[in-house]
Structure 1
Amino acid sequence: MSNTSKVITCKAAICWGVGEAVKVEEIQVEPPKATEVRVKMLCASICHTDISSIQGSPHANFPLALGHEGVGVVESVGELVTNVKEGDMVIPTYIGECKECVNCVSEKTNLCMTYPIRLTGLMPDNTSRMSIQGQRMHHVLSCATWSEYMVIDANYILKVDPSIDLAHASFISCGFSTGYGAAWKEAKVESGSSVAVIGLGAVGLGAISGAKMLGATRIIGIDKNERKREKGEAFGMTHFINPDDSDKSVSELIKELSGGMGVDYSFECTGVAPLLTESIEATKVGTGKTIAIGTGTDIVPFGLSCIMYGRTLKGSVFGGIKPISDLYIIANKTQKKELPLEELFTHEVPLADINKAFELLKQPSCVKVVIKMSC
């Protein structure tokens, strides 16, 4: 019997309903269909989207197999798959790139129309390859990386060099690349410019790294966690603001560090609604550009006056990164150790202790938690 005809029983982190505790349970993973691959996961990590998914966002389809950041080895492939083979190292992506649809051809966006974001928690054919106790399971977006094995459509993966650091490969599958791309592809930060980054998690640190790569000379990081000062500096931050140290607003504090005029570019990476207004107000009148990266469920309470004075506000998904044309460049930099991604790796837990990871995220010293697979 070939690998592509076997059902695999393995362990995965499962949530049964909104707000319920995450449990590690045995599940069944079916073989890949024609355009799919089954991946043996080696390493995964936690992103804010994983936490919000437990609360029912971006969808509330349960039971839910968690995780969307990770790296693994192709265990088996469907008959029509040509871009990877068994044994290849791959990272998942949650958007594809056909290079032929109106969006891909336009070069104006990374949101492919042929291989869009999967907001149903199912495969492109609206079925699932994962089940538990005979019940169909969903995943967060295109896959479920907190599972020892998972199936993903081949159009949502990127082959990477097998010598790449596993934890670092996991980081670039979403969080870090989202921030890096926001500076690189969305804002197109110019050399000699000024930048403010609100929220110095993996996404914010990625935005700092991207701004430094593009030659920004004043990069201001904003975070209430004083320990993020050192992390920000490692990625290229030149100035740090802890809002708790002042009674002034975040935008006022940023303007004080940018000659009173504000910065050229700002990046809101927290998803905290009022901070989007602060991020816009912190940019220059007439030319300032704000990239909204963080996602939250609150209504954003900003008035049109924020952008009426010539400022620009732009939403961003995956930092504008295209998974074929752009992500491989970040993967190459990662493989060559050109990015200080070791600064993100602060904690590690085995899959069996996944709930410990949520507690670690509350610690001031935590940036990224790595999940090691046991299979």
Structure 2
Amino acid sequence: MSTHHSTTGPRLTRAVVHDPATGETGIRTLTLAAPRADQVLVRVMASGVCHSDLHIVEGDWPTDTPLVLGHEGAGVVEAIGPDVHDVSVGDHVILSWFAPCRRCEACAAGRAWLCGNTKAVSNTLPDGSTPFSDEHGEDVLPFLGVGAFSEYVVVPEAAAVPVDRNVPFDVGALIGCAVTTGVGAAVHTADVRPGDSAVVIGCGGVGQAVVLGLRTVGAHPIVAVDLSEERLELARSLGATHTLRGDDPDLTARVHEITGGAHHAFEAIGRPATIETLPGLLRAGGQAVLVGMTAIGAKVSIDPFDLADQGKSILGCNYGSSVPAVDFPRLAALHRAGRLPLDRLIGNRGTLTDVERAFGDLRAGVGLRTVLKP
């Protein structure tokens, strides 16, 4: 049963805002509306810095409205609207950036990641509104319907998934995006079987989570590819049996020497040039999985004869083909049981003022996941 909590109305919150009109990104004080209907007020305790946030800053994903950045977060429920049924005040929750409607054909079929009614990709709440406004009363939208780089957020109930209170908030934040996407890519999207061979291109937060997912299901061998020695070392410790540098001119030949041609090849960067290499890494009947998000409108060149002749497949992966309400608690339980050492994916910790440093690491392709505490 939900515990209702009356609110005193709007509140102020510090948040990282990107303004596309000026190109500036910085901390501003915004007004946050009280939760209505099936909405939930969450005090954000940790938020991860994802490459998707950088896509906004770099203009890869165009927007004409100021956005509160951040979509990978965890926190504590402080208030709920009158129509909330499954979330209570005091719950520890992980935020989902793809809040499903729970009613469309895809949701009814258990494929929430394909929900056709979600407004998250429009950077609004389900009713098309935003809870954020600036000092002039102008709308500021929550990135992917969350806006996790803020002290507080208001999200729909479907975007606040309760988990065990013993799950650290920084680990919970990573489950909200990188971990669910990466582990899900191996477990759900690719449906990797024990003994299948796999190669992972890009060992940032999502790529490392793919490695963890592959190890969990018993893939072998697992080849991790990156330009960062730090990231390759972590991949080895998390389950990669082999590591290769992405600038190795003989990369394709090396992968074939190790795997005989991989059953699965995952691209976790979102670079067209890297995506184009995937089919060449596969054996006949193998599948390439696109996990990293490219800039909108990016194009790649693929040899269709090779795909048809060799029976190879290319799979798109959105949110690890996962259902947050089901998969967030499962991943959290696996971490608590010592089966998924998710804390090892965390690199730097900081506050909202450290977001530019985190973006710098993402641009340079170095370091591990940065987690901010508002």
TM-score bucket of the superposed structures, by smaller chain = over 0.9
What stretches of structure 1 move > 6 A for 4+ residues in a row? none
Alignment CA distance shift 1:47-1:289 (3 Å) = same
Distance in 2 between residues matched to 1:8 and 1:67, nearest whole Å: 19
Q: Over residues 22-64 of structure 1, what are the superposed CA-to-partner deviations in whole Å (9 max), with x where a residue is unaligned?
A: 1111110000110101111111110000110223454504211
Instruction: Tell me how many residue pairs correspond in the alignment.
Output: 366
Distance in 2 between residues matched to 1:64 and 1:252, nearest whole Å: 44
Which one-letter code corresponds to 1:291 in the other structure? V
Alignment CA distance shift 1:35-1:11 (3 Å) = same
In structure 2, the residue matched to 1:131 is 133
- 8 Å contact 1:69–1:92 — kept in the other structure? yes
Which one-letter code corresponds to 1:347 in the other structure? N
Q: Does 1:300 align with 2:269?
A: no
The Cα of 1:353 is off from its aligned counterpart by 3.2
Q: Does 1:175 align with 2:178?
A: yes
Distance in 1 between residues matched to 2:101 and 2:10, nearest whole Å: 30
- 8 Å contact 1:4–1:78 — kept in the other structure? no
Q: Over residues 260-316 of structure 1, what are the superposed CA-to-partner deviations in whole Å (9 max), with x where a residue is unaligned?
A: xx111111111110211211221111x101111111123112231342120011101
Say which SS state the counterpart of residue 326 (structure 1) adopts. helix
- 8 Å contact 2:102–2:112 — kept in the other structure? no
Distance in 1 between residues matched to 2:138 and 2:17, nearest whole Å: 12
Match runs of 1:257-296 below 5 Å: 257-259=258-260, 262-285=261-284, 287-296=285-294
The Cα of 1:202 is off from its aligned counterpart by 1.1
Say which SS state the counterpart of residue 27 (structure 2) adopts. strand
Candidates 188, 195, 199, aligned match of 2:198:
195
The Cα of 1:235 is off from its aligned counterpart by 1.5
Q: Does 1:35 align with 2:45?
A: no
Alignment CA distance shift 1:254-1:18 (3 Å) = farther
The Cα of 1:343 is off from its aligned counterpart by 1.9
Which one-letter code corresponds to 2:278 in the other structure? S
- 8 Å contact 1:37–1:151 — kept in the other structure? yes
The Cα of 1:252 is off from its aligned counterpart by 2.7
Say which SS state the counterpart of residue 235 (structure 2) adopts. helix
Q: CA RMSD in A?
A: 1.9
The Cα of 1:95 is off from its aligned counterpart by 2.2
Alignment CA distance shift 1:224-1:165 (3 Å) = same
Candidates 66, 71, 80, aligned match of 2:69:
66
**Worse overlay, 339-348 or 13-22:** 13-22
Say which SS state the counterpart of residue 294 (structure 1) adopts. coil
Which one-letter code corresponds to 1:301 in the other structure? S
Distance in 2 between residues matched to 1:326 and 1:129, nearest whole Å: 27
Q: Does 1:145 align with 2:148?
A: yes
Alignment CA distance shift 1:77-1:212 (3 Å) = same
In structure 2, the residue matched to 1:335 is 336
In structure 2, the residue matched to 1:219 is 222
Distance in 2 between residues matched to 1:17 and 1:85, nearest whole Å: 36
- 8 Å contact 1:32–1:76 — kept in the other structure? yes
Alignment CA distance shift 1:109-1:149 (3 Å) = closer
Which one-letter code corresponds to 2:234 in the other structure? K
Distance in 1 between residues matched to 2:21 and 2:290, nearest whole Å: 26
Which one-letter code corresponds to 1:14 in the other structure? V
The Cα of 1:108 is off from its aligned counterpart by 6.0
Q: Percent identity?
A: 27
Alignment CA distance shift 1:99-1:151 (3 Å) = closer
Structure 1 residue ranges without an equivalent (≥5): none
Structure 2 residue ranges without an equivalent (≥5): none
The Cα of 1:117 is off from its aligned counterpart by 5.5
Q: Over residues 311-347 of structure 1, what are the superposed CA-to-partner deviations in whole Å (9 max), with x where a residue is unaligned?
A: 0111010010111222321121123332122221110
Distance in 2 between residues matched to 1:223 and 1:205, nearest whole Å: 11
Question: TM-score, length-normalised on structure 2?
Answer: 0.92
Which one-letter code corresponds to 2:77 in the other structure? V
Say which SS state the counterpart of residue 147 (structure 1) adopts. coil
Which one-letter code corresponds to 2:86 in the other structure? N
Distance in 2 between residues matched to 1:46 and 1:147, nearest whole Å: 12
The Cα of 1:213 is off from its aligned counterpart by 0.9
Alignment CA distance shift 1:19-1:224 (3 Å) = farther
Candidates 163, 167, 173, aligned match of 2:166:
163
- 8 Å contact 1:198–1:204 — kept in the other structure? yes
Distance in 2 between residues matched to 1:323 and 1:68, nearest whole Å: 14
In structure 1, the residue matched to 2:120 is 118
In structure 1, the residue matched to 2:323 is 322
Which one-letter code corresponds to 1:228 in the other structure? R
Say which SS state the counterpart of residue 22 (structure 1) adopts. strand
Relative to its length, the structure with more helix (as a share) is 2
Which one-letter code corresponds to 1:49 in the other structure? S
Which one-letter code corresponds to 1:126 in the other structure? G
